[in-house]
């Protein structure tokens, strides 16, 4: 076999692919099941954006914390939240990550450092600052990451958090997932600066922009700024330019897209295809090995859906549990 030109060994590359494929199939299945009317509430899919979530979160341990967005399934899976429990949560069933009472936009698993998806744009950034402040006191080299969309990057909470993080030199990284749209509004219509690096500089933070569909570019850039934060170097901003495969929410007709845009995205900007081409092209992993992961993932997702459908609904008595934390 040829030498491995990648910064990850083969088991780590296979694991990264498995995580990205799990997110993709999880989301594609939700797309189908939602259109059948099987899923309650709102669902925002992360398909197309996998390389960013997995490339960044792959650099973290359980002691590191993340604050997610309304488009949070990918962050959850990347952070190690159980897809079986997530599926139950999205179906609103007992046994879900939050007892089936939160749904898609509120999945959290504190044991994995996943502080929660969040339906309020920009609300994760102050939470990540709090987690980073705690990490700074603990002195174990832990970091916190706040994910935010290009649209949410205009929220006051986000901008105030950049300032607070810089002033307090917090070990926090702000990831702007720039998929070009906030609902149906083009990024260029809603954000005045071309580069988030400039915006970060305005608050005294270093910023980096990467191709968010290139797993290796994301992984490398994230690795550097996370390591810097772990060793006391302070906060940073990472912009990932990416694409979303589906509408803003499930049911969105996407009439605001240019003609042919979605075909181009799927054909030329698919992070999973890019990853597969890179690792098979280098002779490090075979197409057969990737296909075996694809099959195993499809089986897992099928099992998750079967179990979610079979699980009972929360009861009226469940309404009053999990409201307050006991210490």
Ligand X SMILES: Cc1ncc(C[n+]2csc(CCOP(=O)(O)OP(=O)(O)O)c2C)c(N)n1
Binding residues (CB under 6 A) for ligand X: these are: 70-71, 119-121, 149-152, 177, 179, 181-183, 248
Please, which residue, 192 or 317, has the CB nearer to ligand X?
Answer: 192
Please, which residue, 119 or 233, has the CB nearer to ligand X?
Answer: 119
Task: Give the whole-angstrom CA distance, residue 284 versus residue 299.
Answer: 25
Task: Give the whole-angstrom CA distance, residue 234 versus residue 168.
Answer: 8
Which of Mg ion, ligand X, none does residue 129 bind to, with CB < 5 to 8 Å depending on kind? none
Please, which residue, 6 or 161, has the CB nearer to ligand X?
Answer: 161
157 lines the binding site for Mg ion (CB under 5 A): no
Which of ligand X, Mg ion, none does residue 59 bind to, with CB < 5 to 8 Å depending on kind? none
Which of Mg ion, ligand X, none does residue 80 bind to, with CB < 5 to 8 Å depending on kind? none
Neighbours of 197 (CB within 10 A): 16
The one among 113, 149, 207, 212 contacting Mg ion by CB under 5 A? 149
Neighbours of 315 (CB within 10 A): 9
Distance in Å, CB of 170 to ligand X, minimum: 22
109 lines the binding site for Mg ion (CB under 5 A): no
214 lines the binding site for Mg ion (CB under 5 A): no
From the list 19-27, 50-58, 125-133, 181-189, the region that binds Mg ion by CB under 5 A is 181-189
| Binding footprint of Mg ion, residue count (CB under 5 A) | 5
Please give the full DSSP string across 66-130, using - where no structure is assigned: EE--SS-HHHHHHTT--HHHHHHHHTT-TTSTTTTSS-GGG--BGGGTB----SSTTTHHHHHHH
Cβ within 8 Å of residue 61, ≥6 positions away: 113, 142
* Cα separation values, 208 from 192, 201, 220, Å: 18, 10, 11
What sections of 122-248 are H helices per DSSP? 124-138, 156-167, 187-190, 196-202, 215-230
Please, which residue, 142 or 150, has the CB nearer to Mg ion?
Answer: 150
User: Looking only at residues 13 through 52 of this chain, which bind Mg ion when binding is defined by CB under 5 A?
Assistant: none
Which residue is at the shortest CB distance from ligand X? 149
209 lines the binding site for Mg ion (CB under 5 A): no
69 lines the binding site for Mg ion (CB under 5 A): no
Which residue is at the shortest CB distance from Mg ion? 149
Distance in Å, CB of 211 to ligand X, minimum: 17
179 lines the binding site for Mg ion (CB under 5 A): yes
Task: Give the whole-angstrom CA distance, residue 285 versus residue 266.
Answer: 23
Please, which residue, 181 or 215, has the CB nearer to ligand X?
Answer: 181
- Burial of residue 10 (CB within 10 Å: 0-12, 13-18, 19+) is middle
Q: How many CA atoms lie within 13 A of 73 on its CB side?
A: 30
Place of tokens 């607070």: 164
Please, which residue, 145 or 304, has the CB nearer to ligand X?
Answer: 145
Does residue 275 come out as left (phi exceeding 0), alpha (psi in the -120 to 50 range) or beta? alpha
Distance in Å, CB of 150 to Mg ion, minimum: 4
Distance in Å, CB of 116 to ligand X, minimum: 14
Strand order in 207-211's β-sheet? 65-67, 144-149, 172-178, 236-241, 207-211
Q: Kindly list the residues in this chain that would bind Mg ion in the complex (CB under 5 A).
A: 149-150, 179, 181-182
């Amino acid at each position: 076999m040829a030498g491995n030109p990648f910064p990850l060994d083969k088991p780590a590359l296979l694991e990264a692919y498995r995580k990205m494929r799990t997110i993709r199939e999880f989301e594609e299945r939700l797309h189908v099941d939602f259109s059948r009317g099987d899923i309650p509430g709102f669902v925002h899919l992360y398909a197309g954006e996998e390389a960013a979530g997995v490339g960044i979160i792959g650099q973290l341990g359980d002691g590191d914390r993340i604050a997610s967005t309304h488009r949070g399934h990918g962050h959850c899976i990347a952070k190690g939240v159980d897809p079986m429990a997530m599926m139950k949560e999205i179906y609103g069933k007992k046994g879900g990550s939050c007892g089936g009472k939160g749904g898609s936009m509120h999945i959290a698993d504190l044991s994995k450092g996943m502080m929660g998806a969040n339906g309020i744009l920009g609300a994760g950034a102050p939470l990540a600052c709090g987690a980073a402040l705690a990490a700074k006191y603990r002195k174990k080299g832990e970091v916190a990451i706040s994910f935010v969309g290009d649209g949410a990057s205009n929220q006051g909470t986000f901008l105030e958090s950049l300032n607070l993080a810089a002033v307090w030199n917090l070990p926090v990284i702000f990831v702007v997932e720039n998929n070009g749209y906030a609902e149906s509004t083009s990024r260029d219509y809603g954000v005045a600066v071309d580069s988030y690096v400039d915006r970060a500089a305005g608050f005294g933070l270093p910023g980096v922009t990467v191709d968010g569909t290139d797993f290796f570019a994301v992984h490398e850039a994230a690795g550097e700024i996370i390591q810097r934060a772990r060793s006391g170097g302070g906060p940073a901003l990472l912009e990932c330019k990416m694409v979303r495969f589906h509408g803003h929410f499930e049911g969105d007709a996407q009439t605001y897209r240019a003609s042919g845009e979605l075909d181009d995205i799927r054909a030329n900007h698919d992070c999973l295809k890019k990853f597969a081409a890179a690792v098979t092209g280098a002779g490090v992993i075979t197409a057969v090995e990737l296909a075996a992961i694809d099959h195993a993932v499809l089986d897992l997702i099928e099992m998750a859906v079967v179990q979610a459908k079979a699980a009972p609904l929360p009861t009226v008595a469940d309404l009053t549990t999990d409201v307050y934390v006991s210490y």
